[in-house]
Amino acid sequence: MDRKLIIEQYKRFSESCLWRMQRDYFDKAGIDAWVNQVPFYITSNPYIANFYAEISINFISDWISKHPEAKNHPFYILELGTGSGRFSYYVLKRIHELKTALGMTDISICYVMSDFTKNNIRYYESHSALKFFIEQGFVDFALFDMEVEKPITLIHSNVVLSPETLVNPLITFANYIFDTVSHDAFSVKQGKLYELLLSVSTPESNLENNKPVDMSQLSIDFKTNEIKKSYYNDPDLDNILEQYRNSLSDSNFLFPIGSIRAIKLLKKLSNNKLMILSSDKGYSTLQSLDRLGYPSISFHGSFSMMVNFHAIANYFKNSGGDYFLQTPRKGIKTSLFLSNTQLDNLTLTKLAVEKYIEGVSAADYFTLHRRVSDSFNELNLETIAAHLNFTGWDPHIYLKLANRITKLVEVSDLDTINFLASNMHKLAKNYYYMPKSDCILFEIAVFFHAIKRFDDALNYYLEAQEFVGEQFGVHYNLALCQHNLGNTVDALDNFKIALRIDPNSKEAQEWITYIEKSKE
């Protein structure tokens, strides 16, 4: 029988070995964490990135109109736990567009993609989509472990983020990261506050060199321990716990201690001028924190917890800051936090927040998108085109629909086909390469091929080659386009390469015979 072994017994949650395992997982997996394991679409699409960009640009404009000298210093935007970098790419693109459109090219903005693992930083540094922004000095990188208080040094410029270098407020993005770093857990029963201590166990078969292999096979048990004096020795934090003791009737809740410590550090570095935008799963009202069972941990390659946004909001409010928590809806929550200033003083920021956090937010976008994607096979091309426009021409969505679009092209109206065709370059611009994923450039080529725009198809097949490598489909389709464009010499070459890649291809062989014969 597979014995269950206890790995650790009754520890404070933030000191549990689980957090080390979490970091080991991300460090080892690097970019592969996002290949069918850690969910990330909801925080890595053009829709969410575009509104983060708009809120940030509005915030910068508000700040400059109140502090004109701010123009003379860079604005830093720090992304925490960046992950795949796809979100960053879309934000960079949008901020760049907005700066130009709004005549803000003299404002210096430096976007810092940070993560605790070098493996991720290396991936961003060599990514072709980021090359332009790196050359412009618009993006930099930093190794930043939110659980460790250490200087944050930008890898390319060597600037150290500090009260001296951060003259303007530090804008910070934190998506799916507050749910990933350490938490403490508590319980309130009949007006008494308890800490929840954790035991972790796993079947013996899940151990290799005494370490668990698969985190989803871990079991967690809790034990309560009454808290009689101050828990954190920090009035800012202990007051929040006290509020929960007084107001929750009977519940268990999490306290995002790792995130709050990182926020404290960022407040210090930025002279208490911090703005945070965060999207994560979590709780934002006191009511939603009441009557909860023991915290549940969801395992998906890594693991994640529900973020107590309510506690983070109180942490800001209690120290003279402000926050905006959207009216709760199912799904991911987007929140804004400000230190030492009030949202009411930031007119443009407030408008953007109303539009994108209270209005159609990341959660609403995802709900609508999911409903539409459930019915992809019933949609006509007109609806598909409208949906693609709504997504901001998202390659991830197009790739799910590519086969259907190619089929529908034959039976659809010209207006819709032209609408799609004239926006294909936007899809192409949104391409952010990830390993083991399909290539949008190839699919765009197939679209143009299907509507017989062979020149466009040819160009996209050629562009796709850089990402898909030597593939039968690329050479065969290139050859078809070249043949249609009257370039039989190159067509013959490509049919021959295609045949070399797949010697069993009858079609390629027939084409070669046909072209060679017609040359005789």
Ligand X SMILES: C[S@@+](CC[C@H](N)C(=O)[O-])C[C@H]1O[C@@H](n2cnc3c(N)ncnc32)[C@H](O)[C@@H]1O
- The CB-of-278 to ligand X minimum distance in angstroms stands at 10
Regarding 43 and contact with ligand X (CB under 6 A), the answer is yes
> Which structure tokens are listed for 84?
């795949």
- The CB-of-184 to ligand X minimum distance in angstroms stands at 15
Distance between CA 504 and CA 501 in Å, rounded?
9
In the window 80-109, what residues touch ligand X (CB under 6 A)?
Answer: 81-83, 87
User: Which region among 140-148, 395-403, 404-412, 418-426 touches ligand X (by CB under 6 A)?
Assistant: 140-148
User: Which region among 40-48, 150-158, 371-379, 439-447 touches ligand X (by CB under 6 A)?
Assistant: 40-48
- The CB-of-344 to ligand X minimum distance in angstroms stands at 29
Regarding 40 and contact with ligand X (CB under 6 A), the answer is yes
Between 180 and 477, whose beta carbon lies closer to ligand X? 180
Q: Which amino acid is at 155?
A: I
Instruction: Tell me the per-residue interface mask from 297 to 316 with ligand X, x by CB under 6 A, - otherwise.
Output: --------------------
User: Which of 31, 77, 181, 311 lies at the binding interface for ligand X (CB under 6 A)?
Assistant: 181
SS (H, E, C) 297-309: CEEECEEECCEEH
- The CB-of-172 to ligand X minimum distance in angstroms stands at 12
Regarding 142 and contact with ligand X (CB under 6 A), the answer is no
Between 44 and 202, whose beta carbon lies closer to ligand X? 44
3-state secondary structure of 108: coil
User: Which region among 103-111, 142-150, 199-207, 405-413 touches ligand X (by CB under 6 A)?
Assistant: 142-150
- The CB-of-279 to ligand X minimum distance in angstroms stands at 8
Distance between CA 256 and CA 146 in Å, rounded?
12
CB 344 within 8 A of CB 368: no
Size of the site for ligand X (CB under 6 A): 23
Regarding 23 and contact with ligand X (CB under 6 A), the answer is yes
Distance between CA 384 and CA 93 in Å, rounded?
24
Between 181 and 474, whose beta carbon lies closer to ligand X? 181
Instruction: Label residue 151 exposed, middle or buried (CB < 10 Å: 0-12, 13-18, 19+).
Output: exposed
Regarding 172 and contact with ligand X (CB under 6 A), the answer is no
In the window 108-137, what residues touch ligand X (CB under 6 A)?
Answer: 115-117, 120
CB contact set of 97 (below 8 Å; sequence gap of 6+): none
Between 60 and 146, whose beta carbon lies closer to ligand X? 146
CB count within 10 Å of CB 11 equals 14
User: Which of 44, 168, 202, 270 lies at the binding interface for ligand X (CB under 6 A)?
Assistant: 44
Between 168 and 175, whose beta carbon lies closer to ligand X? 175
Greatest CA span in the chain, whole angstroms? 96
Between 87 and 448, whose beta carbon lies closer to ligand X? 87
Q: CA–CA distance from 388 to each of 59, 367, 406, 426, 447 (Å)? A: 29, 15, 15, 11, 14
Decide the pairing of beta strands 192-203 and 274-280: unpaired
CB count within 10 Å of CB 10 equals 15
Residue of 6, 23, 25 lying closest to 198 (CA atoms) = 6
Distance between CA 28 and CA 124 in Å, rounded?
16
Between 82 and 477, whose beta carbon lies closer to ligand X? 82
User: Which of 7, 14, 16, 26 lies at the binding interface for ligand X (CB under 6 A)?
Assistant: 26
Rounded to the nearest 5°, which phi and psi values hold at 441?
Answer: -65, -40
- The CB-of-83 to ligand X minimum distance in angstroms stands at 2
Between 212 and 258, whose beta carbon lies closer to ligand X? 258
- The CB-of-300 to ligand X minimum distance in angstroms stands at 9
Regarding 147 and contact with ligand X (CB under 6 A), the answer is yes
Distance between CA 283 and CA 37 in Å, rounded?
24
The helix (H) or strand (E) run that includes residue 208 is strand 207-208
Distance between CA 443 and CA 239 in Å, rounded?
56
Q: Which residues bind ligand X (CB under 6 A)?
A: 23, 26, 38, 40, 43-44, 81-83, 87, 115-117, 120, 144-147, 175-177, 180-181
